[in-house]
Amino acid sequence: MYEVLVAESFEAAHRLVGDFGPATRVHGHTYRVEVAVRGERLGDDGTLYDLGKLGENVKGLAAELHYRNLDEVEGLAGKNTTAEAVADFVWERLAKTLAGSGLSSLTVRVWENPNACAAREDRLPG
C-alpha cells in the first residue's frame, strides 16, 4: 500500500451548539487540513497520485474556507461545525474529484489547534 499526503491551513470562525462551554460563543481557529490518499499500485510514472494536483485541490478548498464563518458556508450551514463536520465537507468534495482515479481510500484530518484533530477515513467509490 502506498500513501501520499498534502496539507494546507486556513483561518475561520465558528460556534458550536451543545455542551461545549466557551466554544458555544463565536471564536476562531487556525485549521490545518491534512489529506492522504492510498492505493495499491503506482502508475507508469512511479507515482501513486500527483502531489501537485492533490495539493492544488486542497489549496482551493482551504481558500474557500479561509476567513469565513463556517456556520455560514454552504454545505456546513445548519450543521454543528465540528472538526468532524469540516472533515466530512472536505472528504465529500475531494471524493468527487478523485472518482475513477484508482485510489482505494481517502483520509481527511482536520486540526483545530496543534493538539486536537478529527478525521474521516473511508474507501473511495470504485
Ligand X SMILES: Nc1nc2c(c(=O)[nH]1)N=C([C@H](O)[C@H](O)COP(=O)(O)OP(=O)(O)OP(=O)(O)O)CN2
Task: Collect all residues with Cβ–Cβ distance below 8 Å to 63 and sequence separation of at least 6.
Answer: 10
Binding mask 45-84 for ligand X (x = CB under 6 A): -------------------------------------xxx
Number of residues that bind ligand X (CB under 6 A): 11
90 binds ligand X (CB under 6 A): no
- Interface residue with ligand X among 23, 73, 95, 119 (CB under 6 A) is 23
Q: Nearer to ligand X by C-beta: 9 or 113?
A: 113
Binding window for ligand X (CB under 6 A); candidates: 4-12, 33-41, 47-55, 109-117:
109-117
92 binds ligand X (CB under 6 A): no
Residue type, 120: R
